[in-house]
Amino acid sequence: MNYEAIKSIYTFEMARMRRTLMQSVISPVITTSLYFVVFGTAIGSRIPTIEGVSYGSFITPGLIMLSLLTQCIANGSIGIYFPKFTGTIYEILSAPVAMTEILVGYVGAAATKGLIIGLIILGTAYGLSLINPAFGTISIAHPVMMLLFMVLTAISFSLLGFIIGIWAKNFEQLNIVPMLVVPPLTFLGGSFYSIKMLPDFWQAVSHLNPVLYLVSGFRWSFYEVSDINPWISLAMVGLFLAICLSIVGWIFHTGYRLRN
Amino acid sequence: MAPVVSIQKLTKTYGNGFEALKGVDLDIEQGEILALLGPNGAGKTTLISIVCGLVNPSGGQVLVGGHDVVREFRKTRELIGLVPQELTTDMFETVWNTVSFSRGLHGKKPNPALIEKILKDLSLWSKKDNTLRELSGGMKRRVLIAKALAHEPKILFLDEPTAGVDVNLRRDMWQVVEALRATGVTIILTTHYIEEAEEIADRVGVINGGKLLLVEDKTALMKKLGRKQLRLELSEPMKELPASLGAYNLSLSEDGTALIHEYKSEEEQGGIAALLAALAAANIHFRDLSTRQSSLEDIFVALVEEKA
């Protein structure tokens, strides 16, 4: 293993986050705070509890997941796309670095950033709940499971981002998934409602949405209420991770869009 | 001693069917400076890219330091530094960080003293905290060289290093190259500025159409293929060559004011003296004379045109 190389890529990527602190950290926090204030406090106070959980508390895990997914995909894709775009990838491809080391460096940094932002948002929600109890209370019943869901999700979606970054030939393709695919999946994946509120047919359709499993399992680790058995959720996250890993394995094996 | 780079029957066909290399054999000796010459699209960059690991070969084998570049890529790439043709840089990174990054990427522990020395040698020290987008093109070229040297390579590839580079930088660069060679580093450069190869290289290889047309010691090549020309400016123009001079390889310039004698420097043994004597005998006077050696450029153009 070339640990120095992994360290170099990882710290290089983390340095980029520090340079773009406003964009990377502050903007998701502000966006999420707005969600909390509008949905949680203003509208949520007029909505009855969902399965015994106040609306503000109910949406918190979904909001964290929304940010985590978007951030991991965005960071994972730009990290590898940018060197391709500027041409500096020549250096990585001509260095004594195995593809797995490149992957650990880039995906590790993207997942770390996603996790940091997820935890900041969790802290923000907790802070808001202390300031204004009308918002609801945040309690974490299974902290270990919560972290496990976050870490596995962060890694899986950073991998997805990495795949998109390698596949994308321009900035439009780069943004298509985080902009057009992730928000509908998140909104329709039970972030803001329980799918038990839906007619049977749409409940069944919702089960095709991978984000449902993430949000449901993640919410269970907070309040022990969920649309899906949490172990099934965990298995689905594991399955998604395995699919992403196989695609990356194929990319590395064939040199797809990396080496001629 | 075994060659430090050994290329055997190397072929490369790109996905679109373009045959960039059609069976190249080349041995590069430790510590030499080899210049690869060739017109645009000849296959120079593809050849370098395969040795450095940027492009996968279609057939044949490349050994660097005795190791296969595909199967034992860690060992081979550790030995190699690459300065690419394009000015590709991380615009928002500082000079210091980008050069340190290159070292880490090659698995070497940080060594600030070494980075400092490299930056000073390349006159980059005052710019170390600048981001790359603030630098001029020539400065970026220096940064790319610094990045390639950061992991102390034993073999340095310079792909068109002096394209668009001013005189100062070219001089600095050749100083660095000379200093590296003194420490035993092997240097391979591609260029289409032939005078550059003429000035600095030990050996010259000519590539065209994916084939290596020749590789030869520069001075031997110049001697073997180089032609000399003697030009005699006549005191009085003449219309045609006198028959008495038919035995000499002579021609008359178009306006009839000069006689031109072509010869190969190694074959010439007393021929010029005889020619001059014959001219005196024929009562032909000249007011000036000059000789000219054909340059590598003439040799190169002749080769590429002949075999194309």
Shortest CA distance to B183 belongs to which of B155, B162, B159? Answer: B155
Find, among A255, A6, A168, the residue nearest to B49 by Cα. A255
Whether residue B55 lies within 8 A of chain A, CB to CB, comes out as yes
Cβ–Cβ gap A12/B101 under 8 Å: yes
Q: Are B251 and B260 in contact (CB under 8 A)?
A: yes
**Mean pLDDT (chain B, rounded):** 87
Helices in A87-98 by DSSP H: which ranges?
89-93
Distance CA A125, CA B17 (A): 57
What share of chain A has pLDDT > 90, as a percent? 40
Q: Which of B15-19, B24-28, B172-176 has the highest mean pLDDT?
A: B24-28
Q: pLDDT digit string (tens) for B157-187?
A: 998 887 777 788 888 888 888 889 999 999 9
Mean local confidence (pLDDT), B10-20: 91
Total Cβ atoms within 10 A of residue B184: 10
* ipTM of this complex: 0.83
User: Going by CATH, does the domain composed of B228-293 fall within 3.30.420.10?
Assistant: no
Residue B298 has pLDDT above 90, yes or no: no
Nearest-by-Cβ selection for A8 from B14, B74, B101: B101
Q: For tokens 């492009």, what's the residue?
A: B55
φ and ψ at residue B34, rounded to 5 degrees? -110, 130
Of residues A179, A153, A188, the one with CA closest to residue A72: A153
Q: In what order do the strands lie in the sheet with B211-217?
A: B80-83, B155-159, B186-191, B33-37, B203-208, B211-217
**Average confidence (pLDDT) over B189-201:** 80
A164-183 burial, b at 16+ Cβ within 10 Å, e below that, comes to: bbbbbeeeeebbebbeeebe
A3 vs chain B: nearest CA distance in angstroms?
7
Residue-level pLDDT at B90:
82
Name which residue leads in pLDDT, A25 or A219. Answer: A219
DSSP 8-state code for residue A196: G
Residue B238, chain A, CB below 8 Å: the answer is no
% of chain B with per-residue pLDDT over 70: 96
Mean local confidence (pLDDT), A55-60: 84
> In the numeric block, which tokens belong to residue A19?
């340079």
DSSP conformation class of A116: H
Residue with tokens 């699919």: A243
Q: Which residues of B touch A87 (CB under 8 A)?
A: 84, 86, 88
- CB atoms closer than 10 angstroms to residue A113: 24
Same topology between domain B5-222 and domain B228-293: no
Do residues B259 and B290 lie in contact, with contact meaning Cβ atoms separated by under 8 Å? no
pLDDT level of residue A29 (50, 70, 90 thresholds): confident
> Measured between CB atoms, which of A15, A87, A94 is closest to B82?
A94
What pLDDT does residue B308 have?
52
Q: Are A170 and A252 in contact (CB under 8 A)?
A: no
Domain ranges of chain B: 5-222, 228-293
- Convert the pLDDT of each residue in B135-159 to its tens digit: 988 889 889 999 999 999 999 999 8
**Per-residue pLDDT at B87:** 84
CA distances from B95 to A137, A184, A230 (A): 49, 42, 49
Q: Which one has a higher pLDDT value, B304 or A239?
A: A239
Closest Cα to residue A233, out of A225, B84, A255, B121? Answer: A225
pLDDT score of B307 more than 70: no
Residues A86-112 have pLDDT tens digits of 889 999 999 999 989 999 999 999 999
In whole angstroms, what is the distance from residue A56 CA to residue A43 CA?
Answer: 9
**Domain covering B5-222, topology:** Rossmann fold (3.40.50)
Is pLDDT at B129 greater than 90 in this prediction? yes
A199 touches chain B (CB under 8 A): no
Residue A116 has pLDDT above 80, yes or no: yes
Give φ, ψ of B173 to 5 degrees: -65, -40
What secondary structure, in 3-state letters, does chain B show? CCCCEEEEEEEEECCCCCEEEEEEEEEECCCCEEEEECCCCCCHHHHHHHHHCCCCCCEEEEEECCEECCCCHHHHHHHEEEECCCCCCCCCCEHHHHHHHHHHHCCCCCCHHHHHHHHHHCCCHHHCCCEHHHCCHHHHHHHHHHHHHCCCCCEEEEECCCCCCCHHHHHHHHHHHHHHHHCCCEEEEEECCHHHHHHHCCEEEEEECCEEEEEEEHHHHHHHHCEEEEEEEECCCCCCCCHHHCCCCEEECCCCCEEEEEEECCCCCCHHHHHHHHHHHCCCCEEEEEEEECCHHHHHHHHHHHHC
Token readout for B295 is 């340059």
Binary contact (A5, B101; C-beta < 8 A): no
B88 Cβ under 8 Å from any chain A Cβ: yes
Q: What tens digit of pLDDT does each residue of B253-288 get?
A: 888 888 888 887 666 566 788 888 888 888 888 888
Banded model confidence at residue A19, pLDDT cuts 50, 70, 90:
confident
Contact between chains at B53 and A94 (C-beta distance less than 8 A): yes
Per CB-CB distance under 8 Å, the chain B contacts of A97 are: 105, 107
Can you tell me which residue has the tokens 């909505």? A47
- Can you read off the two tokens belonging to residue B269? 């043994």
Distance from the Cα of residue B237 to its chain's centroid: 42
| Residue A144: per-residue pLDDT | 94
Higher pLDDT, A136 or A139: A139
CA distance linking residue A215 with residue B90, whole number of Å: 37
d(CA A232, CA A210): 11
Whole-angstrom distance, CA of residue B301 vs CA of residue B303: 5
pLDDT of residue B96: 95
C-beta separation of B188 from B158 below 8 A: yes
Q: Encode pLDDT of B78-98 as tens digits.
A: 999 999 988 888 888 899 999
Mutate to test the interface with B, among A94, A253, A254, A256 (most CBs of B within 10 A): A94
- Among A14-18, A176-180, B25-29, B236-240, which range has the highest average pLDDT? B25-29
Supply the pLDDT for residue B269: 64
Query: Can you give the pTM of this predicted structure?
Result: 0.83
pLDDT at residue B145 in the model: 92
Task: Give chain A positions within 8 Å (CB) of B73.
Answer: 96
Mean pLDDT of chain A: 87
Residue A159 has pLDDT above 90, yes or no: yes
pLDDT of residue B47: 94
More confident residue, A35 or A10: A10
pLDDT of residue B202: 92
Range of weakest confidence among A243-247, B117-121, B229-233: B229-233
Q: How many Cα atoms are found within 13 Å in the side-chain-facing hemisphere of B134?
A: 11
Cα–Cα dist A17/B98, whole Å? 16
Q: How large is the average pLDDT for residues B118-135? A: 92
Work out whether strand B5-13 and strand B203-208 pair parallel, antiparallel, or are unpaired: unpaired
Q: Give the whole-angstrom CA distance, residue B109 versus residue B112.
A: 10
